[in-house]
Structure 1
Amino acid sequence: MDFPLNRANLPYPDPLHAIVVHFVIAMVIISFLFEVIGLISKRQSLLNAGWWNLVVAAIAIFFAILFGQFEIGLTQPSQAAQPVIDRHLAVGWLLLLLLPNLALWQGIERSRDRTRISKGVLAFKAIVVLLVCYQFLLGTTMYWVYGLHVEPVSTAGRAGLLSTTVNPVLTGEVRQ
């Protein structure tokens, strides 16, 4: 089935992956912050808010991956962008494994005692937050440096104007 693509190589006005993934990013970070503040201030409402943000993030990441895989298939990236795309995909799939498991682990602990969070869950969540921040950096690089789904870059790709060689400066292969 062929979809008519717009000038950004998408069958719809804006990248849906970017819209959904920003919810995931915000919810993971807010979940961690709410729980740390909730533990310090002993406010159950913040612990509950942190938990529900994690649950929604664990569900939303499925849609972020779905749209991300679909939209990356519509791009015509330069060869220089490929290492960043590959890392972004790998970290995304890793987060798809980690977030639901973290939510499950924390959910089991919450069923026993809603007033506390184990150090293990909090440490695991801190690692997930760092991975989310790294993933954000990779996604931002794909958009702002390589122009994936940016209209002028998409137009240049369709016209065959993008370089097929890897820029050695961007890949760190420059030797002095």
Structure 2
Amino acid sequence: MLVHFTIGLFLVAVLFDILATLYRQDSSFVFKLPIGRESLYDVGWWNLVAAAGMTFLTVAVGFFELFLARVPEGTSAWGLSAYDTMLLHGLGGVLLLTFIVLLAIWRGLQRYIWRRGQGAQVQWSYLLTTILVVGLMLVQGELGGQLGYEFGIHNTTVNDLQQPRN
């Protein structure tokens, strides 16, 4: 479940940065709650900081699980062996960790130095990059799903279903 928390934090960060960038004026929103651009950017920033921190733990736990896994036979829907899928999933985790940390640094520089006092805290290039990282996250999630569902790695239910009944 740790991996889902990391994904959720990152997606909320991206969503709120996009909403804040598109939000042009301070006004009341639903039920007359005073919501300003700055508040939306704050939610995006702190979720990204939390995602960057949690991703270290997520990748560490992922590698721990990787070393414990028994590599089964067969191929995935993408035609990859379990070993290749595990290798790509591990590499994807490290890449995502690197990208999320770099995005947090980039976002922090925009927030506190480059765009301080401006209406928009983030650049469009930053937002487009975060969307590309979300795409990489989708591929990473598919590989993880293949490991759990198709190969039954660390998934007791799938392993039980694949065992012949006596």
Shared fold by TM > 0.5? yes
Contact 2:55 2:97 in 1 (8 A): yes
**Number of residue pairs the alignment of both structures matches:** 141
Opposite residue 87 of structure 1, the aligned amino acid is L
Match of 1:74 among 55, 68, 71: 68
The more displaced of 88-97 and 77-86 is 77-86
* TM-aligned CA distance change 1:75 to 1:153, over 3 Å: farther
Aligned ranges 1:88-127 → 2 under 5 Å: 88-112=89-113, 113=116, 115-116=119-120, 117-127=122-132
C-alpha distance after superposition, 1:11-51 (max 9, x if no partner): xxxxxxxx211111111111111111111124221111011
Query: Which fold has the larger relative contact order, with Cα–Cα distance below 8 Å and residues 6 or more apart in sequence?
Result: 1
CA distance, structure 2, for counterparts of residue 23 and residue 36 of structure 1: 20
Match of 1:30 in 2: 12
Aligned ranges 1:3-152 → 2 under 5 Å: 19-42=1-24, 43-79=37-73, 80-112=81-113, 113=116, 115-116=119-120, 117-151=122-156
Distance in 1 (alpha carbons) for counterparts of 2:65 and 2:22: 41
Unmatched segments (≥5 aa) in structure 2: 25-36, 74-80
More displaced 10-residue stretch of structure 1: 113-122 or 94-103: 113-122
Q: TM-score normalised to the size of structure 2?
A: 0.77
Q: What fraction of aligned residue pairs are identical, expressed as a percent?
A: 31
Tell me which stretches of 4 or more aligned residues in structure 1 moved more than 6 Å: none
What is the deviation of 1:154?
5.7
How much is the aligned-residue C-alpha RMSD, in angstroms? 2.3
Counterparts of 1:143 and 1:108, CA distance in 2: 38
